Chains A and B, each alone.
Chain A
């Protein structure tokens, strides 16, 4: 796949993050262009999830700057990141278990719903129209992800693969410009992985959403991503197209081990 040559949407500059004495990220820099699928790979404990948590403001790095849409920022909270158009899924599914699929997806649109709670209590006029308009948008996502049959089912009752899909749906409901996926295919069988790959590619092509994803399945990563960043022990050891990464000796060493 040829990488889109769009403008840089997100730039990570010299990020360092430590927890006490543990250095999770060490001077990491890379960029994400608008419209591309960017993969972050690396062995366990390499700092991949920490990197996502830094991007959407859950963790605050000690050093470094994140430039999103040309706006540099050092610290931010996840709530502000959501309003800027960054959505994400989690490694361990973080759905609202007691709510239906439909309600979970509707919650994803909360950054776009502005009516006051008193209007909600009356359920009249503007609040009602707003609710119906957003319901229509959510139904489009339900159609897109082919989960019409479970829209009223409580999420806690769904099998793992479908929960992953609903979580993707909740992130999509926010209509993000940057979508962070933390191991979207972990623990899935081959068919479920193929479905998920198809959805990720479709999201990228149809909605033009920029995607940063963490994934362990090298086949998937090399197939669907435009460019790949490789982390190992909090350091960046590779950055480039899948072909370049395959040929990178340092990456091969990190993954296969090296004889001393």
Chain B
């Protein structure tokens, strides 16, 4: 098989430490980027951008954020949607109250706000772990949504609590079409995913994983536990915050606390679990699974019902969608509890030897 490291000798550490040491991987990622930036915008219809690709990218970014915290640093969190809400409302207020600020800067500052809130709710992580920490971050989920509804300053005294997001301009271009929104989101997600990958393979990432795998040994080695955990909370919440801003401004077009419910926190957590905790690739795969599969099922199941002449009405088709989706989640968790990214890794290991079994 062509997909292996045979013949690709590394003669220095810099070459050995590239993000993609394999030539095939580098070609693959170049093709994916070319598809995303050039081919898809030229071919796809608006429906694809607004219903599939943009939400997929936004949720990928949120999943990367949670993956940094849960997959790399081992701190379970159920507050993802809260940090996204902080990002969305901070972006709204930056755009509203500081009109001179470029919108991209507002979005990044919104991420910084989310990072600060994330650090505050990460403080208990020094004393509590696992499920108990998850419950503590649940407090963030309820507190943030409550605070956004309670204090009208956040929503600029809007009566309904639902505000339409301001139109976004980037480098003088208005993001007024689904295609432009998609390209903007794709650019931000690509850059942030690269930065996350760099962090994960650096000293910072190793310290996170050390705390995840064995915190006592990590401390004896000289890793400051609180600082490492808080940094994980901050970086994770930054990613979630930017994702929240993009969700509000480039996907649904409104800013409302109700959109960032506990349900969304769970969705992002499931994306991380199904995609693969502790991998950047897994965040994308998990998000694709959650965004694309329901759409696929909503097309496939009515078609199948029609084909088999089964007397399904619209409501029962919806229920069957939910059931198949749930069944698929359970199926993948049983087949590969380490996530879909792990399946890909196993495939790569098998391909090294293919067509021989050993």
| CB <8 Å contact, B203 and A120 | yes
Least CB distance, A234 to chain B, in whole angstroms: 23
Chain A residues lying within 8 Å of B199, measured Cβ to Cβ, are 117, 120-121
| CB <8 Å contact, B221 and A107 | yes
Chain A residues lying within 8 Å of B204, measured Cβ to Cβ, are 117, 120-121
How far is B214's CA from A120's CA once the two chains are assembled, in angstroms?
23
Least CB distance, A87 to chain B, in whole angstroms: 8
The verdict on A111 contacting chain B, using a C-beta distance below 8 Å, is: yes
| CB <8 Å contact, A107 and B207 | yes
| CB <8 Å contact, B198 and A103 | no
Least CB distance, A88 to chain B, in whole angstroms: 6
Chain A residues lying within 8 Å of B205, measured Cβ to Cβ, are 120
Size of the A side of the interface (Cβ < 8 Å), in residues, is: 39
How far is B206's CA from A81's CA once the two chains are assembled, in angstroms?
20
How far is B225's CA from A94's CA once the two chains are assembled, in angstroms?
16
Chain B residues lying within 8 Å of A99, measured Cβ to Cβ, are 206, 209-210, 213
How far is B202's CA from A132's CA once the two chains are assembled, in angstroms?
11
The verdict on A51 contacting chain B, using a C-beta distance below 8 Å, is: no
Which of B202, B213, B222, B231 makes the CB contact (< 8 A) with A123?
A: B202
Chain B stretch 201-234: residues in CB contact (< 8 A) with chain A:
202-207, 209-210, 212-214, 216-225, 231
| CB <8 Å contact, B13 and A139 | yes
Least CB distance, A187 to chain B, in whole angstroms: 18
| CB <8 Å contact, A110 and B213 | no
| CB <8 Å contact, A106 and B203 | yes
| CB <8 Å contact, B214 and A94 | yes
Residue on B nearest A53 in the bound complex, by CB: B220
| CB <8 Å contact, A96 and B198 | no
The verdict on A14 contacting chain B, using a C-beta distance below 8 Å, is: no
How far is B259's CA from A50's CA once the two chains are assembled, in angstroms?
53
The verdict on A16 contacting chain B, using a C-beta distance below 8 Å, is: no
How far is B223's CA from A108's CA once the two chains are assembled, in angstroms?
9
| CB <8 Å contact, B217 and A79 | no
The verdict on A164 contacting chain B, using a C-beta distance below 8 Å, is: no
| CB <8 Å contact, B224 and A96 | no
Least CB distance, A33 to chain B, in whole angstroms: 24
Which of B195, B198, B214, B222 makes the CB contact (< 8 A) with A110?
A: B222
How far is B196's CA from A135's CA once the two chains are assembled, in angstroms?
21
| CB <8 Å contact, B202 and A120 | yes
The verdict on B17 contacting chain A, using a C-beta distance below 8 Å, is: yes
How far is B218's CA from A170's CA once the two chains are assembled, in angstroms?
11
Least CB distance, A195 to chain B, in whole angstroms: 23
How far is B212's CA from A190's CA once the two chains are assembled, in angstroms?
34
| CB <8 Å contact, B198 and A79 | no
How far is B123's CA from A67's CA once the two chains are assembled, in angstroms?
34
Chain A residues lying within 8 Å of B195, measured Cβ to Cβ, are 121-122
| CB <8 Å contact, B202 and A94 | no
A131-B202, A132-B13 are known contacts. Are A111 and B222 too (CB-CB below 8 A)?
yes
Chain B residues lying within 8 Å of A77, measured Cβ to Cβ, are 219
The verdict on B235 contacting chain A, using a C-beta distance below 8 Å, is: yes
| CB <8 Å contact, B207 and A127 | no
The verdict on B1 contacting chain A, using a C-beta distance below 8 Å, is: no
Least CB distance, A135 to chain B, in whole angstroms: 5
> Apart from A79-B224, A98-B212, A111-B222, what are 13 other A-B pairs with CB-CB below 8 Å?
A82-B220, A88-B220, A94-B217, A95-B213, A107-B218, A107-B221, A110-B221, A115-B203, A117-B204, A122-B198, A123-B198, A128-B14, A139-B13
| Residue ranges of A at the interface with B (Cβ–Cβ < 8 Å) | 56, 58, 77-79, 81-83, 87-88, 90, 94-99, 103, 106-108, 110-111, 113, 115, 117, 120-123, 127-128, 131-132, 135-136, 139, 170, 174
Complex A-B, nearest 8 residue pairs according to Cβ-Cβ distance, in ascending order = A82-B222, A120-B202, A94-B217, A96-B213, A111-B222, A123-B198, A121-B195, A117-B204
